[in-house]
Structure formats: structure tokens, C-alpha cells
Homo-oligomer: A and B are copies of this chain.
Amino acid sequence: MAKRLTQREHYDTLINQYDTWMFDCDGVLWRGDHLIDGALEALSILRERGKRIIFVTNNASKSRRSYKGKFDQLGVEARVEEIFGSAYASAVYISSVMKIPKDKKVYVIGMTGIEEELREEGVSFIGGTDPADNTLEPFSLANFTLDPDVSAVLCGLDVQINYTKLSKAFQYLTRNPGCQFLATNEDSTYPSADGLLPGAGAISAPLRFATEREPISIGKPAKTMLDCIQAKIHFDPKRTIMIGDRLNTDILFGHAGGLATLLVMTGITLEADITGPNASAIVPDYVTASIGDLRAVKP
């Protein structure tokens, strides 16, 4: 059962116990364009006590560099090196784990964030924001030339999704021998400022269904994201805690990596999801109402 944190000594003990604090962002530090009350002070307390802070987001629409703009805009102190997004992790996976040869390329379904990260990792790609693919004009196989150098399809959230992109990706996945199928993340929904919309997992769903293939998913809860962080930053999993608002991404991610987990109730997860007859089987180590509760340790 999760331990409920409510008193000053609970938070003091927690802070003493963990050196590395991994934060999900949306639903934990902010919601849409609004900071969670007390989030800035909570981060300050951790930094003052010498904790290492890492931001781990499945949002693949932005590169780390442009995601940093969101932090700046909300007044949250962060360095680009502290930010790990699923677009970045996907690019690192393709260059360092998959070790894609220089003459091969990736067919992208996704937005500028993925393109920027692939470019930074030196990975060639086609598709993405290319105007030729961002069209509702009829797609015809007769006018399509299969590029034999495409050795992976990478699919993330793409609000310009269309039949041309799906059809091209389908061709590569079914006709290019050995073509890998990667997804930045498989979140079913995406929390926009005004409510939930279909997420990255919904964008790759047509390809999963039509090809009968499951992609390698990079973002939370996959361990791939943690491997990517570990390749850049040294941390001891036993002294690391993951803070998030989603059981099936953040908390599962912590469990998969052997990290402690803290659930906050300022985002997706509701009380009914963790207590009562329909409670999830995914149980965090700790629960607190809001990250702002850490302020209790201040005199």
C-alpha cells in the first residue's frame, strides 16, 4: 500500500532519502499554462539541499531546447541538460542503440521536436513536417516511390496526421526488409490546456493495427527512457525517486527502473484510481496531494 505523506517529518525523511528527483512536468509542476501552487518553492527546497533534479517528459512535440522555453515562460529554473523528452530519447536510441548506418534514414510521423532532436544526433530522416506529406490530397501508391534507405519508422504525436503519412509508413513497415518500428511514447491521451485529446499512442494505433506489429516504445513507462538518462547522467536508482501524476506511465516507469515513486494528485490520477474497489494494480510508494506539499519542511 502507498504511504500517505501528510506531515513535516514525512517530507523531511523523503528528502533525506533520495538524491535524484525525477519529475514528470504536466500535471505535476504545471497544468497547461498554469503553475501548480508551490511547485517553484518545492524545486527550490530540493536544489538548496543539493538534490539533482531531472525532468522526464513524454511530450515529443518539442525538442529539449524548445521545451526549455516552457520552463522559462513559467519561471521554472531548468537547464537543457536536465530535460529528457521522448523525442530526444528516441533520437539517442536510434543513433546509439540501434546504431543506424549513416546512409540510412528514418521515416518520421511527428512534429518539429522530433526533427530537431534527430538532426542534433546526426540522424537522416524524411517525412515529418515536409509539406509533401502534410496534405489531404488523395494518396496513390502509383505515384509513390519506396525509399530503400528507410530502415525505421518513428511515430510520435502528430496533429497533422493524415492518410498519406499513414500509407507511407505502412509501406516502409511492410515492404522494407528489417524496417524497425519505433514510437516516441504510447500515451493514449494528451492533456491540452482545454481538455484531453488523442495522444501519441492514438497516432501510432493505425500502424499497429494495419501491420500487426508492436513498436519499440521509447518514452515512459519503457525502460529505454531511463537507459537514455543513465547514459548521460550518473544516478543510483536506490537513491532516486520518480514523481508523477499518471500510474501507467510515471509510476510504472519508476517501478520498471527500480526507483522509488511518488504520486501527486494534481493531474490525471483521481482518488478513485488508487483506493476502493476499482483501484489500479499499479501502486506508488508514496502519495501526496501536490508537489507543493514539500513546503511543509520550511520553518
Chain A positions near chain B (C-beta within 8 angstroms): 134-136, 138-142, 158-163, 166-167, 170-171, 174, 188-189, 192-199, 201-203, 205-210, 212
Contacts of A140 in B (CB 8 A): 192, 194
Nearest CB in chain B to that of A203: its residue: B206
Interface of A is mostly: mixed
> Contact at B163–A163, with CB atoms within 8 Å?
no
Q: How many copies does the complex hold?
A: 2
* Interchain residue pairs with CB less than 8 A apart (27): A136-B136, A138-B159, A140-B192, A140-B194, A142-B193, A159-B163, A160-B162, A160-B163, A161-B161, A161-B162, A161-B163, A162-B162, A166-B202, A167-B197, A167-B198, A170-B196, A170-B197, A171-B195, A174-B196, A188-B209, A188-B210, A198-B206, A201-B209, A202-B210, A205-B205, A205-B208, A205-B209
Chain B nearest CB from A144 CB (Å) reads 8
| A-B residue pairs, 8 tightest by C-beta | A141-B194, A202-B206, A205-B205, A205-B209, A202-B210, A198-B210, A159-B163, A205-B206
